[in-house]
Amino acid sequence: MPPPHILLMGPRRSGKTSIQRVVFYKMSPHETLFLESTNTLDIKFIANNELVQFQVWDFPGDFEFKDEIEFNGKPLTQKQIFENCGALVFVIDAQDDPYHDALARLHDAVVCAHKYNPKICFEVFVHKVDGDLFLSDEHRIECQRNIHEQIYAELKDRKLDIQLGFHLTSIYDHSVFEAFSKVVQKLIPQKLPTVVNLMDNLVAHCNLEKAFLFDVVSKIYIATDSNPVDMQAYELCSDMIDVVIDVSCIYGVRDDGDGLAYDQKSSSVMQLNNGMVLYLREVSNYLALVCLLRANNFQNQGLMDYNVGCFKDSIAEVFTGAKPAVERGN
């Protein structure tokens, strides 16, 4: 079965390509200022780990559904575009008010995609909420509410019962990674509840405050426990990955280039000055478990390591059907 597609759509200069480059290719947000507009369909295959693999289809901003679009010289029909689509991410520039043109394009995209594939997840990124117009949370929320009300009014007029997710995003903070995490999680609806249940068990047995299963390369989280996501906790856990990789690149790779910055032995424990502990452990190829817990609950690291080892075995069994290589003692 081919990997699912995530379609990136939106008006020209709304920030679609910048999002893709920052999230999946580690481009600095400031470097995106020099990116040229996307003039043709650009398809990238994202396969950082064996658990979640998908394609990102970045459409030109001036793409109209009545137009034909080509990839590698071959025309694509609307059915080919949407039939294997897992999610459609529509990016709206929050600073480009009024939003009449963007909302008209969003409406056309939703109606056309739903016709060919009613199972598509629709996500709206209200993007670039980082300028002088959005210095307060009230302004950001008001912008999202305005867009939300207008698009649902359009869909109601067409008597369409379609649910859309809305996210306030910026490439200059963690919000775009958090939003894309929610999108990617919807590509594994059959397995996600099992993974969340495993993480809930780990949180309960280890007295954790929060746990995330991260894709190390992109820093989007594949899953988390069922406790609400606190943005500050997510940012701490996400930044820990950068610290571990950076230190490993300096001290973990030999001068001849042999060795990896992240492998099956990768792990780290960091004591914070606020009485909390950050714990990172490799789970599988380019996947990491990052946990936040109180220092007084981290008295027995051996027990923590054992529980995480059981978690690793269970994750491998969920996604690949692989049985544990070594039976763990009681």
Q: What is the DSSP pairing of strand 267-271 with strand 276-284?
A: antiparallel
End residue of a domain, out of 158, 185, 212: 185
180 and 203 in a common domain: no
Sign, CA dihedral 302-306-311-313, equals: positive
Phi, psi of 215 (to 5 degrees): -80, 115
End residue of a domain, out of 157, 185, 213: 185
100 and 27 in a common domain: yes
**Nearest 10 degrees: CA dihedral of 28, 30, 32, 36?**
-150
With beta carbons less than 8 A apart as the criterion, state whether 57 and 91 touch.
no
pLDDT at position 177 is 95
148 and 249 in a common domain: no
Number of domains in the chain: 2
126 and 107 in a common domain: yes
Task: Look up the CATH number of the domain holding residue 201.
Answer: 3.30.450.190
Q: pTM for the whole thing?
A: 0.88
132 and 240 in a common domain: no
Q: Residue 17: give the domain boundaries.
A: 5-185
281 and 171 in a common domain: no
pLDDT at position 38 is 86
21 and 165 in a common domain: yes
pLDDT at position 330 is 43
211 and 96 in a common domain: no
31 and 88 in a common domain: yes
196 and 109 in a common domain: no
pLDDT at position 66 is 67
247 and 107 in a common domain: no
DSSP string across 33-75 = GGPPPP-S-EEEEE-SSSS--EEEEE--TT--TTS-EEETTEE
Task: Look up the CATH number of the domain holding residue 178.
Answer: 3.40.50.300
Structure tokens at 239: 């930044």
Residue 273 within any structural domain of the chain: yes
Residue 13, by phi and psi: left (phi above 0), alpha (psi -120 to 50) or beta? left
pLDDT at position 247 is 84
**DSSP-assigned beta bridge partners for residue 89:** 8, 123
Rounded distance between C-alpha atoms, residue 12 and residue 286, angstroms: 33
Q: For the chain, what percentages of helix, strand and coil (3-state, to nearest 5) are there?
A: 40, 25, 35
Q: Could you tell me the mean pLDDT of each successive run of 10 residues in the chain, 330 residues long?
A: 88 93 92 89 87 90 79 86 93 90 91 92 94 82 92 87 94 94 90 93 95 92 93 92 84 58 81 94 88 92 92 86 53
C-alpha distance from residue 192 to each of 49, 86, 102, 315 (Å): 16, 15, 32, 11
179 and 104 in a common domain: yes
pLDDT at position 37 is 86
pLDDT at position 285 is 75
